[in-house]
Structures are given as C-alpha cells and as structure tokens.
Amino acid sequence: MQRYMINTRLLAMRICVRWQFFIALPAFCLVTRSALGGVLALQSLIVLMLAHELGHAALARYCGLQVERIELQLLQGSCVFSAPRSEIEAIIVSWGGVMAQLALFVVFEALYHGVQFSSAGSQFLYPIFAVFIAWNAISLAVNLLPIEGVDGHTAWKIVPAIRNGAFMEYVRARRAAAPVTLRARQ
Ligand SMILES: [Zn+2]
C-alpha cells in the first residue's frame, strides 16, 4: 500500500503529501461554488502549508540540524528534522513557519489592495486571495496561541531568551561557526 499520494524531493529534502489532504477539495468546491475555485484554493493551501514547513526547514538548517522530510496531511503539516540540541534551537525553528506565512500575507495583502483586477480576473483570483489572506490570518493567529500542539507553545519562549541574552549569544555562536565561504560573501 502506498503511504503517500505525493512523494517527491525538493531542496534536498523529501516532500510527502498524504491522501487525506485532498479531502479538503470537495469542501473548497462547495465554498467557492466551482470546481476550478476548489482546485485553485487547494493548490493555494498546498503552497501556504509548504511555505510554513519550508520556513521551519530553513531555520532548522540555519541551526545546523538535518531536515529529513516535510509532510502535508489534512489541514496540518509537519517538518521532520533531527532533534534540537538546545531549547533555543527549538525556539528559533518554531518561528520559521509563522514567519513564512507572514511574508506571504504581506505580499498578498499588498497585491489585493494595490492591483486593479478585472471582474473576470478577480473571480478567478478570489479563492487564491481567500487562502493567502483570510485563511492565512486565521491560521497565523491559531499557530501563535501559547498552547500545547501549536508553534506558539515554543515560539513565545523567545521573549525570556531575548531578555536573558541566550538568543543573541546563540546567533553570535552560529555566525562564528558559519563556513568561511559563507562569511566571505557577507
Ligand atoms: Zn509550524
């Protein structure tokens, strides 16, 4: 039995999508009242969730951790990487997802307000904006709640880490440990 519906490689890591993810498609078709709208919304959701997990992956790599794979399931994703060696590494990696989502939110908000679309175009773009702006904002808010099971549970520990200097100490140590070739380009 095939475990994943999509199993591919991107940026030297495995990207896996479970079949349950596609349960969202009929729901999106209903909400947007069109098959095309549903497909566009689902594709946008894949991009948004992938960006979230790639954000975690990028910061995990910054911390020198090994990223094994990214998994997308029904309305939730996960980034599987080697165990953080300290709490500050877990805190830093936990910010990757929301930072990526926030970047997409800013870009799509600017596009939404800054570009005049024809009525046919806006009908076509509505499901995309709905995911990258409305869904994204709700997901960001939920993700940043300081409760078990979401990124906010670990992420907000950055406040005491900044106050007691542990965060800056770690950033300085990473910079010092960066390969000579990387430092030479700065
Ligand atoms: Zn996350």
Distance 45 CA to ligand 1 centre (A): 14
Q: Is residue 35 part of a domain?
A: yes
Contacts of 31 (CB under 8 A, 6+ apart): 37, 38, 41
Number of domains in the chain: 1
Edge-to-edge order in the sheet of strand 67-73: 6-10, 13-17, 67-73, 76-81
Distance 98 CA to ligand 1 centre (A): 7
Q: Which residues form the domain of 95? A: 6-178
- pLDDT tens string, the chain, 186 residues long: the values are 457 777 888 777 888 888 777 888 888 888 888 888 889 999 999 999 999 999 999 999 999 999 999 988 877 889 999 999 999 999 999 999 999 999 999 999 998 888 777 666 667 788 899 999 999 999 999 999 999 989 999 999 999 999 999 999 999 999 888 765 454 444
Distance 63 CA to ligand 1 centre (A): 16
Q: Is residue 184 part of a domain?
A: no
Q: Is residue 50 part of a domain?
A: yes
State how far the Cα of 133 lies from the Cα of 138, in Å rounded to an integer: 9
Q: Is residue 121 part of a domain?
A: yes
